[in-house]
Structure 1
Amino acid sequence: MRARSALFDVYGGHLRQRGGAATIAALVRLLEPLGFTSPAVRTAVSRTVRQGWLRPVRLPAGPGYALTARAERRLDEAAARIYRTRPSTWDGQWHVVLLAAPPARDERERIASSLRLLGYGPLTATTWVAPRPSTELADLLDAEQVAAHTFLAQHEGDDVELAARAWDLDTLARDYSDFVAEWRPVMSAVDGSAAAPAFAASQRLLHAWRKFLFRDPGLPARLLPPDWPGLVAAEFFDRETSRLAPAVTRFVTECLSGD
């Protein structure tokens, strides 16, 4: 886990619901159980500000940093998929993105990673599909200065085959099973009695779970293979997150009130 990723997880998982701002001292305290020093946190904050995700603000306890509107949209989109707060219904239409031209070689992987994060899968180098539009797509295309045509359409063929073409569901299924097998013994060793260790364990679990955002678009059940292991993995993540929530909330409150 890098300091910048941990910073995003803290803002998205905790600070977004508490006004989306914190002093640098509070951020240092929050990331300390994850092994990050004060200079590492300050460097991550500065880099995140330069990238347009955080902005300096004046808080009652002193100088701090708040989420930008762009960051709020990114974190809300991520939270809807991490915690599955969005309705799971699907109307049978795909959101199609046709890039006007193939991205240059040095831009290709960056744009592809961003599109995957938003839930899109590739059919060709310039054609991407998702089961629903992303509210962040316009920001992405504008930031990358990429022209594209977007529209909703129904697929005249087999939607299950289309999903299997756009996403490697077999590998994703194995990785979901591996996630549970790896993290079950790790989380069973955390009893939640101590706030800081509970917070650290919860954040590390979230960091591992969040990696699936780049690979799982949240397909409706009818497009997934039977006995989809992603459901078991999601139930495990929810159960462990809820179990440690009281201790985690206590730790975050202590860190934010310590200024």
Structure 2
Amino acid sequence: MRSQDKVFTLYGDYLRFREGPVSVDSLITLLGQLDLSEAAVRSVLWRMTRKGWLTMYRIGSGSYYGLTPRGHKLLEEGSQRIYDPPRNEPWDGTWYLVAYSIPEDRRRLRDRLRVRLLWLGCGPLTSGLWISPHNVRHAVEEIATTLDITGHIEVFRAQHLGFSDIHTLISQCWDLPAVNARYAAFIEKYRPEYERHQAEADINGHLPPAECFVRRFMLVHEYREFPFLDPYLPQELLPADWRGDEAVELFRAYHNLLTQPAEAYVDSVCEVAPAVSVISEQ
């Protein structure tokens, strides 16, 4: 796990709703629970500040880090896909098509577009034509504007009239067996942990806060990969043995079980800047 990914998950699941930036000493303690040394923490915070994800403030001799608007936007989009994806929505058979033709000298933008389309749950029918059962028009417009490629991309709404069987069409665009296998592995890994911690909580009335912080962090960090993998297709397009809903239920139950003690641990560690108005940005 890259150190930057750890920082994103920490802010995304724990810190982004807190008032004010968080002290570097608190970040060193929290990330130390995740096997990052003090030097590694300082280094990744500096890199993420240079990249525009974090802002560093100083109060006296202390340093504090908070998300930039760009960082907030990224984590907000990620949170929506993780905690509130378009699952089990009614579908009228309409497909949304995203067609693009980006010049070779702008291929890096093409690669970035493909990553964003995957994040939206689109699948490649051909190299320059992606499809989705969800209305992605506004999201694609925002992506195209950000990448400055609005002149190279179009969005259509269509019906499939032939000639492939619908499940053959699905298999051309998405590898659902592979996604299902990942869900099954997630369930196999975390179901016993959840049941063990639930039993421990029932017996003792509480769970160790620091351990819950690490467990919830790892749970979220692993689960957040699914929005890149799962297109969240309507129920009628999924295989009969689909494990996605079971994995979602397990994730939510385990996350809820760990939340109170995990948040209590973060509260005990976090030192938040006393007043943003008196902080000088560096």
Give your verdict on TM over 0.5.
yes
Mapped partners of 1:61, 1:159: distance in 2: 63
Shift of 1:111: 4.4
- What one-letter code is carried by the residue in structure 1 that aligns with 2:136? P
- Give the number of aligned pairs: 259
Q: Which is greater in Rg?
A: 2
| Change beyond 3 A, Cα 1:212–1:85 | closer
Query: Structure 1 residue aligned with 2:136, among 116, 133, 136?
Result: 133
Within a 5 Å distance, the mapping from 1:56-71 to structure 2 comes to: 56-57=56-57, 62-71=62-71
Structure 2 counterpart of 1:100:
101
Shift of 1:239: 1.0
Bigger Cα displacement from structure 2, 88-97 vs 67-76: 88-97
Contact map agreement 1:77 1:135 (CA 8 A) in 2: no
CA deviations 1:91-116 (Å, max 9, x no partner) are 54444322222656973655433431
Within a 5 Å distance, the mapping from 1:35-184 to structure 2 comes to: 35-57=35-57, 62-84=62-84, 88-90=88-90, 92=92, 93-101=94-102, 107=108, 111-130=113-132, 131-133=134-136, 137=140, 140-141=143-144, 144-147=147-150, 148-157=152-161, 161-184=168-191
> What fraction of aligned residue pairs are identical, expressed as a percent?
30
Mapped partners of 2:19, 2:78: distance in 1: 17
Structure 2 counterpart of 1:206:
220
Shift of 1:227: 3.7
Shift of 1:57: 4.0
Which blocks of at least 5 consecutive residues in structure 2 are unaligned? Answer: 201-205, 274-282
CA RMSD across the alignment: 3.1
Mapped partners of 2:58, 2:88: distance in 1: 40
Contact map agreement 1:20 1:67 (CA 8 A) in 2: no
CA deviations 1:20-53 (Å, max 9, x no partner) are 7422222222212111112212222222223222
| Change beyond 3 A, Cα 1:46–1:133 | farther
Query: Structure 2 residue aligned with 1:237, among 238, 251, 276?
Result: 251
Mapped partners of 2:38, 2:142: distance in 1: 32
Structure 1 counterpart of 2:210:
196
Shift of 1:164: 3.2
CA deviations 1:126-184 (Å, max 9, x no partner) are 22233232866456545655453242413323665544322111111122111111233
Contact map agreement 2:23 2:271 (CA 8 A) in 1: no
> RCO greater where, 1 or 2, for CA within 8 Å and sep 6 or more?
2
| Change beyond 3 A, Cα 1:38–1:111 | farther
Which blocks of at least 5 consecutive residues in structure 1 are unaligned? Answer: none
